[in-house]
């Protein structure tokens, strides 16, 4: 390799490193002063071949990276950076030895910690010890990036100075991306100091995990608690682009979505309602059966959480849904009224569009072909679809094999008899029952079982 800066940086070993984020190529570099550096690489990071690769220049931090310290956010950033690179299946992380303690070394950093225990901030502690606030140099890092061909990069960092220094050394930083790592109580003052005194990006630059997911981005890391739960629960939906068809249903333990009279208020609880609103917020369209609209008069909007309303799609082969239904009158969201070729369907209001699809008789009932409905929606740019109810409609889509995922919430209620939930022509053989990998979420008193139908063997 070319020794750009005369520091004798040389690639001396190549191997692989399997990690929680996948397997990386690992290169070892001899550096100045006998320090070895490491680069973890995924894919071809040569900048002349396609988009500028993601690059993380990670400053060594024994306490954060290896010991899980919460005085800083280094360990979490390290993991988040590897996750981001793995998500794109392309990128490099240069682990910069000699950067420990912003270049002052481990024991000096610990002395700086002791001064911070006594009240100094992270900048003043360095100055008090006779060091600059930041003593890191980037020549060796730049040499390694040149060796990898990564000379035009998208940098994973909150530190504008890092980008400027790399730019000065011939590594063009075309953009900088903040890693989604949340502040913790133990490091909030330290991070705040870096933002105030070291030009680090303000926390406001980072939208919360739910907002990020609403824009189609799965955060690589979220603080433990609600944020992490949301990313864990809904991240897989966001990561899957269109087309995506999911369904949800809430039913009693004995399989009913309402009592005999149709009384359905409420089978499942508050948390399942919030969950339903999150699903609505993550799709382009929500599909319901006409019978459900007539019986329950749902609004089908996103109210319990931040998010945009999906297009409402009412499947009504005979055009029987009451014209007073909220979805036809409230104008809260565009509404598609899907009816058969002969149904009478005068347009009730400006936000409602009528779509005619062929009707077929299946199982003694007239209905639409689920695949044809999805194809028609896709043609209209509605590729991410939630089939929301009632029991028959969800069962039709399930039996037709068009669902990628089913969220089936069971409530600790025994209704005895009533409006059925999931029902379809089964088989005499248990071996032919529908099974799939599942995840389970406790939603208050209810349990939501997520069937990953797309992953069925
Ligand atoms: N001297 C000193 N170094 C610290 C302190 N806390 C963390 N470090 C070191 O700071 C380095 C990481 O720098 P950060 O300021 O966290 O972040 P950055 O690398 O500038 O920017 P990012 O790319 O966004 O991570 C690591 O080498 C840590 O060991 C401290 O209080 N004093
Ligand atoms: Zn650290």
Q: How many residues does the chain have?
A: 457
**Nearest Cα residue to atom 12 of ligand 1:** 59
Active site residue 297: no
Report the first-to-last Cα separation within the chain, whole angstroms.
48
What is the 289 CA–ligand 1 centroid distance (Å)? 56
Instruction: Give burial (CB, 10 Å; 0-12/13-18/19+) of 425.
Output: exposed
pLDDT at 162 over 90: yes
Q: Are 10-99+136-206 and 240-311+371-455 in the same CATH fold?
A: no
The rounded distance, in Å, linking the Cα atoms of 361 and 367 is: 6
ipTM of the complex, rounded to two decimals: 0.86
Q: Does 10-99+136-206 carry CATH code 3.40.50.10990?
A: yes
Closest to 246 (Cα-Cα) out of 455, 457, 454, 456: 454
Span 177-199, average pLDDT: 82
pLDDT at 203 over 70: no
* Class of 240-311+371-455 in CATH: alpha beta
The rounded distance, in Å, linking the Cα atoms of 453 and 457 is: 9
Q: What is the dihedral of CA 392, 394, 398, 402, to 10 degrees?
A: 130
In contact, 194 and 162? CB cutoff 8 Å: no
Span 32-43, average pLDDT: 91
The rounded distance, in Å, linking the Cα atoms of 142 and 165 is: 9
Tell me, what's the pLDDT at 204? Answer: 58
> 136, 278, 384, 405: which is the annotated catalytic residue?
136
**Nearest Cα residue to atom 2 of ligand 1:** 101
Q: Is 89 annotated as a binding residue?
A: no
Show me where the domains of the chain are located.
Answer: 10-99+136-206, 240-311+371-455
Instruction: Return the SS3 of 238.
Output: helix
| Tokens linked to 5 | 């800066």
Tell me, what's the pLDDT at 62? Answer: 97
Instruction: State phi, psi for 411 to the nearest 5 degrees.
Output: -105, 150
The rounded distance, in Å, linking the Cα atoms of 409 and 273 is: 10
| Tokens linked to 114 | 């002791």
């Amino acid at each position: 390799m070319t020794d750009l800066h005369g520091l004798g940086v040389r690639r001396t070993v190549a191997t692989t490193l399997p990690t929680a984020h996948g397997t990386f190529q690992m290169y070892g570099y001899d550096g100045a002063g006998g320090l070895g550096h490491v680069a973890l690489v995924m894919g071809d990071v040569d900048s002349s071949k396609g988009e500028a690769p993601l690059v993380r220049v990670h400053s060594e931090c024994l306490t954060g990276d290896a010991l899980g310290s919460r005085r800083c956010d280094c360990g979490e950033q390290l993991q988040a950076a590897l996750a981001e690179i793995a998500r794109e299946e392309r990128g490099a992380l240069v682990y910069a030895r000699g950067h420990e303690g912003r270049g002052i070394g481990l024991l000096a950093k610990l002395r700086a910690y002791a001064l911070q225990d006594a009240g100094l901030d992270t900048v003043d502690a360095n100055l008090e010890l006779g060091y600059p606030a930041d003593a890191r140099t980037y020549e060796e890092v730049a040499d390694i990036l040149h060796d990898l061909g990564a000379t035009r990069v998208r940098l994973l960092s909150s530190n504008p100075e890092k980008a400027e220094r790399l730019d000065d050394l011939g590594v063009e930083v075309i953009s900088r991306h903040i890693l989604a790592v949340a502040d913790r109580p133990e490091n909030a003052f330290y991070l705040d100091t870096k933002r105030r005194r070291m030009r680090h990006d303000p926390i406001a630059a980072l939208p919360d995990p739910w907002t990020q997911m609403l824009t189609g981005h799965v955060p690589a890391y979220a603080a433990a608690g609600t944020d992490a739960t949301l990313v864990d629960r809904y991240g897989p939906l966001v990561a899957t682009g269109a087309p995506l068809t999911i369904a949800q249903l809430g039913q009693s333990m004995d399989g009913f979505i309402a009592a005999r009279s149709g009384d359905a208020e409420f089978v499942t609880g508050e948390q399942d309602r919030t969950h339903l609103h999150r699903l609505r917020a993550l799709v382009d369209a929500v599909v319901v059966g006409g019978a459900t609209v007539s019986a329950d008069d749902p609004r089908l909007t996103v109210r319990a959480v931040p998010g945009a309303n999906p297009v409402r799609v009412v499947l009504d082969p005979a055009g029987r849904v009451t014209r007073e239904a909220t979805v036809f009158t409230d104008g809260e969201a565009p509404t598609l009224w899907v009816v058969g070729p002969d149904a009478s369907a005068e347009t009730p209001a400006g936000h409602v569009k009528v779509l005619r699809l062929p009707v077929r008789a299946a199982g003694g009932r007239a209905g639409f072909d689920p695949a044809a409905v999805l194809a028609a929606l896709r043609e209209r740019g509605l590729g991410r679809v939630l089939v929301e109810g009632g029991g028959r409609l969800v069962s039709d889509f399930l039996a037709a094999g068009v669902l990628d995922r089913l969220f089936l919430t069971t409530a600790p209620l025994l209704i005895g008899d009533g409006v059925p939930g999931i029902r379809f022509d089964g088989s005499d053989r248990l071996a032919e029952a529908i099974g799939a990998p599942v995840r389970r979420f406790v939603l208050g008193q209810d349990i939501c079982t997520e069937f990953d139908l797309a992953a069925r063997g």
